[in-house]
Amino acid sequence: MVTTTPQEPVYVIGAGPGGLAVAATLRARGVRAVVLEKSGSVGTSWRGHYDRLRLHTTRRLSALPGLRIPRAYGRWVARADVVRYLEAYAEKHELDVVTGVEVHRIERAQDGTGGWVLHATGGRRLTGRAVVVATGFNHTPRLPDWPGLDTYEGDLVHAREYRNPEAYAGRDVLVVGVGNTGAEIAADLAEGGAARVRIAVRTVPHIVRRTTAGWPAQRTGVLIRRLPPALVDLLGTGMNRLAVPDLAAHGLPRPDTGLATRARAGAIPVQDVGLIDAVRTGKVEVVAAVEALEGREVVLADGTRIAPDAVIAATGYRRALEPLVGHLDVLDTHGRPRVSGPRCPRQAPGLYFTGFVNPISGMLRELSRDAHRISRRIARTTPARERKRG
């Protein structure tokens, strides 16, 4: 059975900030949009993040189109307030969000209309005239393919399962990975009563202060985003030397590739929310990357073997777009959409992606910009008669 509506809507997949922003801007342009969300509520990712998380981008530069984040939430908005904001956002824009519906596969409609068929929970087949995929950059927790992973006898979780340091009080913990999440979890554990905290580092990150003399790092990211990468690398090195102490003696030498070069490869700088002090004072020890797991032991790249009580793998996420769109030849070798934002793949007109690039200027800001651009593009192809009804 194919489910159609008198006026086929634009389907937006995912009710995170990206999907909600697209739906709101489409609605503002009179285009009917339906958001399909697999979980039971909007902002699911933010409900599941660790307790102490705050936005590292400013309140002003993190707001989605058409609703400010309340001033009362402060400059660095707390995780629970992000959830509150997203709920208020869906309500204020009267968004049509259908929860409990997971989209498994997207296909071209075969009726020659140029639309798209979505295969979803409960055998549903929904046809839309355009589809916006907003299923998240951080979709599925990724664990490296460490030798011995399957037979490891220790306590190992992915960072997505970490909430707070309570369960780790008095324990020896190894955090693997020094992205924003790993850095913050290590600092949280050190402040929260873990007996020993080590962090395994493969590539030394760029660390930036969240603010310098009141000036947020994000604003610098916005300013330098369009500059030539070589210049940004140079500026980044200079800023790093000024703002961040030399931690080489503690196992964190300065990075040997530039900030923009790294960002282009997908590694945004780590915003310091406690790691610098924790490393400097020895509360967090830096160790070599993890190579393998053996019985109760973790084997590090320098040959050392350690046996922590618990391992938290802050080793990132996969986009997991293959089941959804892999057959449409729209993904690159890393499983990311080849084009995103307002551009559609040439062979898939009407199929949009948002939230799959992570610029140094802030992902939420980027999602807002994408939302405007995508909805403008879709509205252009919507007959005025339908827009009025929308």
Ligand X SMILES: Cc1cc2nc3c(=O)[nH]c(=O)nc-3n(C[C@H](O)[C@H](O)[C@H](O)COP(=O)(O)OP(=O)(O)OC[C@H]3O[C@@H](n4cnc5c(N)ncnc54)[C@H](O)[C@@H]3O)c2cc1C
> In angstroms, what is the minimal distance from the CB of 10 to ligand X?
15
Enter the DSSP assignment of 349.
T
> Of 37, 81, 233, 272, which one interacts with ligand X (CB under 6 A)?
37
Whole-number Å distance between alpha carbons of 94 and 45: 21
Residue 170 to residue 191: CA distance in whole angstroms: 12
Interface residue with ligand X, options 126, 128, 131, 135 (CB under 6 A) = 135
Is the Cβ of residue 86 or residue 174 nearer to ligand X in the bound state? 86
Please identify, among the stretches 44-52, 147-155, 231-239, 368-376, the one whose residues bind ligand X according to the rule CB under 6 A.
44-52
Q: Give the span between the Cα atoms of 10 and 2, in whole angstroms.
A: 16
| 181 Cβ contact partners less than 8 Å away, ≥ 6 residues apart | 159, 314
Q: Which of residues 312-341 bind ligand X (CB under 6 A)?
A: 324
For position 129 contacting ligand X by CB under 6 A, the verdict is: no
Q: Residue length, the chain?
A: 390
Q: Please choose, from the candidates 66, 85, 88, the residue with its C-alpha nearest in 3D space to the C-alpha of residue 74.
A: 85
Q: CA 232, CA 69: separation in Å to the nearest integer?
A: 30
Q: What single letter denotes the amino acid at residue 289?
A: A
Using DSSP's 3-state secondary structure scheme, residue 343 falls into coil
Window of 130-138, 205-213, 277-285, 295-303 that interacts with ligand X by CB under 6 A: 130-138
Q: State the binding string over 70-109 for ligand X (x if CB under 6 A, else -).
A: --------------------------------xx------
Should residue 165 be labelled a site residue for ligand X when binding is judged by CB under 6 A? no
Strand partners, 198: 174, 285
Nearer to ligand X, 56 or 198 (CB): 56
Question: Candidates 26-34, 41-49, 295-303, 308-316 — which segment interacts with ligand X by CB under 6 A?
Answer: 41-49
- Interface characters, 247-266, with ligand X (x: CB under 6 A): --------------------
Write out the binding residues for ligand X, residues 265-304 only, by CB under 6 A.
Answer: none
Query: Nearer to ligand X by C-beta: 185 or 300?
Result: 185
Nearest to ligand X of 298, 356 (CB atom): 356
Among 130, 23, 33, CA closest to 345: 130
Helix and strand counts by DSSP (H, E) for the chain: 12, 22
19 touching ligand X, by CB under 6 A = yes
Strand order in the sheet with 10-13: 96-99, 33-37, 10-13, 130-133, 351-353
* Maximal C-alpha separation, the chain: 69
Q: Is 56 in the site for ligand X (CB under 6 A)?
A: yes
Could you give the CA distance from residue 201 to residue 183 in angstroms, rounded to a whole number? 10
> Please, what is the minimum distance in Å from the beta carbon of residue 365 to ligand X?
6
Q: Rounded CA gap, 276 and 205, in Å?
A: 12
**Bridge partners, 241 (sequence order):** none
Q: What part of residues 173-202 is at the interface with ligand X (CB under 6 A)?
A: 181
Residues 360/268, Cβ–Cβ less than 8 Å: yes
Q: Which of 8, 90, 130, 138 binds ligand X (CB under 6 A)?
A: 138
- Taking the complex as a whole, the smallest distance from the CB of residue 362 to ligand X amounts, in Å, to 4
- Looking up tokens 């979803």 gives 120
The binder of ligand X chosen from 10, 32, 45, 374 (CB under 6 A)? 45
CA angle 198, 203, 136 (to 5 degrees): 90
Among 23, 83, 364, 378, binds ligand X (CB under 6 A): 364
CB 228, min distance to ligand X, A: 24
Judged by CB under 6 A, does residue 15 bind ligand X? yes
Does the protein bind ligand X through residue 363 (CB under 6 A)? Answer: yes
Q: Does 53 bind ligand X (CB under 6 A)?
A: yes
Place of tokens 């929904």: 126
Q: Which is nearer to ligand X, 45 or 315 (CB)?
A: 45
Which positions touch ligand X (CB under 6 A)? 13-19, 36-39, 44-45, 49, 53, 55-57, 62, 102-103, 134-139, 181, 324, 355, 362-364, 367
